[in-house]
């Protein structure tokens, strides 16, 4: 079985249930909206405005990718836990990888003002460092999420051979 077939079958098995499609949408929206508000792509005052400046396109696209990958990994991890009765101790990559990946991508941006007001000079220095390394941290986050995805696909392929045979013929 080729690499693409393995990924396609894992996605087909997980997202054949509409519950996981809804979970993906919920997690994606739950990450995307707060991150775009914190990074000031969405404004609510004086009126609703969605604006992505030209120099922030890479940052905006990284937020979309991080939100989508986190939703994908969490949906697949929850599928693995619920239907395969995998123990959370054995599930070393799914939940932890998505938390680390989403956290690394969300640590930058609009959080700086809160850090400065809470921690003073130390918060200012931290904000400067996080702002300078915002894109590399998000790339690292995407890398962690992609690694987690492939580990979940590998584990699902190993544990779901019977279920995959059902979907292979469709």
Distant-in-sequence, close-in-space partners of 170: CB < 8 Å, separation ≥ 6: 12
Q: If you ran DSSP here, which 8-state letter would residue 44 be given? A: -
By mean pLDDT, which of 27-31, 35-39, 75-79, 82-86 is the weakest?
A: 82-86
pLDDT higher at 4 or 121: 4
DSSP strands (E only) in the chain: 42-43, 49-50
pLDDT in tens, 107-150: 555 554 554 556 665 656 666 666 677 788 888 888 888 888 88
């Amino acid at each position: 079985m080729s690499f693409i077939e393995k990924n396609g079958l894992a996605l087909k098995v997980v997202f054949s249930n509409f519950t996981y499609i809804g979970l993906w949408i919920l997690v994606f929206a739950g990450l995307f909206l707060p991150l775009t508000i914190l990074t000031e792509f969405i404004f609510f005052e004086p009126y609703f405005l969605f604006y992505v400046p030209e120099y922030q396109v890479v940052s905006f696209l990284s937020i979309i990718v991080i939100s989508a990958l986190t939703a994908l990994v969490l949906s697949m991890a929850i599928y693995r836990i619920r239907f395969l009765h995998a123990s959370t101790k054995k599930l070393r990559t799914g939940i932890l990888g998505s938390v680390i990946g989403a956290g690394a991508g969300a640590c930058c941006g609009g959080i700086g003002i809160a850090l400065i007001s809470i921690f003073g000079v130390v918060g200012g220095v931290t904000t400067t460092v996080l702002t300078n390394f915002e894109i590399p941290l998000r790339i690292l986050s995407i890398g962690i999420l992609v690694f987690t995805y492939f580990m979940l696909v590998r584990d699902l392929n190993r544990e779901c051979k019977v279920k995959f045979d059902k979907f292979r013929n469709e």
